[in-house]
Amino acid sequence: AGPELSALIETVVTALEAGGRLIYVGAGTSGRLGVLDASECPPTFNSDPSRVLGLIAGGDAALRTSSEGLEDDVAGAHEALHRLSVGSDDVLVGIAAGGTTPYVLGAIEEASRRGAVAAMITCAPRNPPPGCRHLIVLETGAELLAGSTRLKAGSVTKLALNTITTVAFSQLGKVRGGLMIDMRATNAKLFDRAIRILRRLFPELSRPEAARHLRDSNLDLRATIERMERSS
């Protein structure tokens, strides 16, 4: 799936650069994985929470309580896209391990009708569904527990989603040399990480000096780095 995934990432980068959004859509485990990846983008890349979104059949309640019946709710998918005003600036990625989830297929077709780029990530070889421009097939083979796609399929899907956002935001300048340079030090762990990143980029800094520079920039690591580079 390498070339197909790379092509999708380039599409996502183009959309985000133009002010569009990446929207994951799924049901059950697939939906939860999309919501998870979307929710991790703001703390990891200091991205606007509205730029990467996750939709799950059944809404937020389905994150905690299984709602299998709602994966057949095509109308619900259409309504969710309508509420978000999905359009030509956006990229929608439908996630369906088996490739047949009506909620996901309905979202893909509706997103395409609205002018968005629609893609699908699945673990079952198949032809692209109507409206799908990018088809990513992650061939994982049979599950240890037959039909339980939260196992191999879920693990591989999570890696694919992580790859999409990590590579995309890296290309958008959020990462430098494997370091998360665009972050806010909003807790003790992140403050320590920011200090270590500063000292790696500016080896002459002592820890107290790095902390002072970070505080002078309101705990914004990227702003700290840019200010120090301008003054050097």
Q: Is 154 exposed, middle or buried (0-12, 13-18, 19+ CB in 10 A)?
A: buried
What pLDDT is stored for residue 145 in this prediction?
A: 53
Bridge partners, 102 (sequence order): none
CATH number assigned to the domain comprising residue 188: 1.10.8.1080
**Residues 212, 143 share a domain:** no
**Residues 150, 41 share a domain:** yes
What pLDDT is stored for residue 164 in this prediction?
A: 97
Mean pLDDT estimate for the chain = 92
For 126: left if phi > 0, alpha if psi spans -120 to 50, otherwise beta; the answer is beta
**Residues 163, 62 share a domain:** yes
209 is annotated as an active-site residue: no
The three-point CA angle 106-117-119 to 5° equals 60
**Residues 47, 145 share a domain:** yes
Selecting among 71, 110, 139, 204, the annotated active-site residue is 71
**Residues 186, 117 share a domain:** no
Q: Residue 124: which pLDDT band, with cuts at 50, 70 and 90?
A: confident
79 is annotated as an active-site residue: no
* Domain extent for 227: 175-231
What pLDDT is stored for residue 122 in this prediction?
A: 93
CATH number assigned to the domain comprising residue 67: 3.40.50.10490
Q: Residue 65: which pLDDT band, with cuts at 50, 70 and 90?
A: confident
Mean pLDDT for 11-23 is 98
Other Cβ atoms less than 10 A from the Cβ of 65: the count is 7
Q: Residue 2: which pLDDT band, with cuts at 50, 70 and 90?
A: confident
**Residues 197, 124 share a domain:** no
The yes-or-no verdict on residue 9 having pLDDT over 80 is yes
**Residues 63, 112 share a domain:** yes
Query: 23 with 55: CB under 8 angstroms?
Result: yes
Length of the chain: 232
Q: Residue 232: which pLDDT band, with cuts at 50, 70 and 90?
A: confident
Domain boundary among 137, 171, 205: 171
**Residues 79, 14 share a domain:** yes
Mean pLDDT for 10-23 is 98
Selecting among 10, 40, 143, 209, the annotated active-site residue is 40
**Residues 211, 188 share a domain:** yes
Convert the pLDDT of each residue in 179-208 to its tens digit: 989 999 999 999 999 999 999 999 999 999
**Residues 180, 165 share a domain:** no
Q: Residue 141: which pLDDT band, with cuts at 50, 70 and 90?
A: low
What pLDDT is stored for residue 152 in this prediction?
A: 76
The whole-angstrom distance between residue 189's C-alpha and the CA centroid of its chain comes to 23
**Residues 111, 32 share a domain:** yes
Q: What is the value of pTM for the model shown? A: 0.90
Domain boundary among 123, 152, 171: 171
CA distance 148 to 207: 49
Other Cβ atoms less than 10 A from the Cβ of 83: the count is 9
Domain boundary among 152, 171, 190: 171
**Residues 211, 135 share a domain:** no
The total number of structural domains that make up the chain: 2
